[in-house]
Amino acid sequence: MKNTDAAFKYLALSLFVLFFSTGLNGSQMPEGPQVPLMREMEQPRNCDFPHMQSPEVQFMAADEFPADVDCEVDLEKNRIGIRNQQAIKAYNGPFNGQGIVRLTLDPKTTEVCRARIEVLFGETVKDWNLNIADSVSNNGYSGDSGHQSHDGEAQILNGNFALYGDDHMPADEKNGKVLASAEGLGSPGATVIFEISNNRLVWQNDRGLDGEVKSPYVFCLAGQPDTEGPVNHDIFIGINQVINGDRTGSGVKRVRIRLLHE
């Protein structure tokens, strides 16, 4: 028995020495209460564009914005709520009072073809307030960085609205590619509503300004061939900033988006 006990103690000591001589790593930690060495960082919820995300983004619960709204962006609290996550993505932010949302208006994949965008302005409106664009690299005043030939866009700059046609539109000597404009559409305290569908944009505010453009040079959402990039059904909404670049501003407090099936 003594020889057996001695052999057992020798074996246990040998295993103990061998265990610690090889060092500990995360997979060799002994069982028992675990204390995290560092706090795990929350991963961005939108994995489509992880390079565009920020840890400042906060997501609303479904009961924190109206039930008939598919997306709400609060630029004062830097929060976003998304009900239809297949058709709506938080492309960038919101943070620092700015953000970009991507809509996919494709009846075949997202079962929606129109969007109603309600924009609430605060009492101070400055620089770039809104950019609604057909290309991921639109940045105001028409044109993009070569990603899409269908790159028509609408903008509100210092409260003034303008709509520009895409690369396929011949430029007018006087107005360039401006299809429509409305001074003061986004005036302080105003609410502006846009409705977007294939080759069509409708706008109105609560001060009596309204208008509509139907044109093959804006918002091509029916699978039209593109000479510079892939066919898509995406619309980008830049809030207090353009879609691509460093043109920024302030004035929009909240955006609400409703998606329509017909």
Segments making up each domain of the chain, as ranges:
50-260
pLDDT for 216 equals: 97
- CA–CA distance, 148 with 232 (Å, rounded to integer): 10
pLDDT for 61 equals: 95
Secondary-structure percent of the chain, ordered helix, strand, coil, rounded to 5: 10, 40, 50
CATH number of 50-260: 2.60.120
CB 74 within 8 A of CB 94: yes
Residue type at 194? F
Q: Which pTM does this prediction carry?
A: 0.79
Coil vs helix vs strand at 133: strand
CB 87 within 8 A of CB 104: yes
The neighbouring-strand residues paired with 239 are: 99, 130
The neighbouring-strand residues paired with 100 are: 92, 238
pLDDT for 262 equals: 79
Residue type at 166? D
Coil vs helix vs strand at 6: helix
Q: Could you identify the residue written with the tokens 């001589």?
A: 21
The 8 Å CB, 24+ separation contacts for 174-182 are 176/142, 177/142, 177/217, 179/213, 179/215, 179/217, 179/218, 180/211, 180/213, 182/209, 182/211
Furthest C-alpha separation in the chain = 107
Q: Could you identify the residue written with the tokens 């300004």?
A: 209
pLDDT for 239 equals: 98
pLDDT for 15 equals: 52
Segments of the chain with pLDDT less than 50:
2, 4, 16-17, 19-53
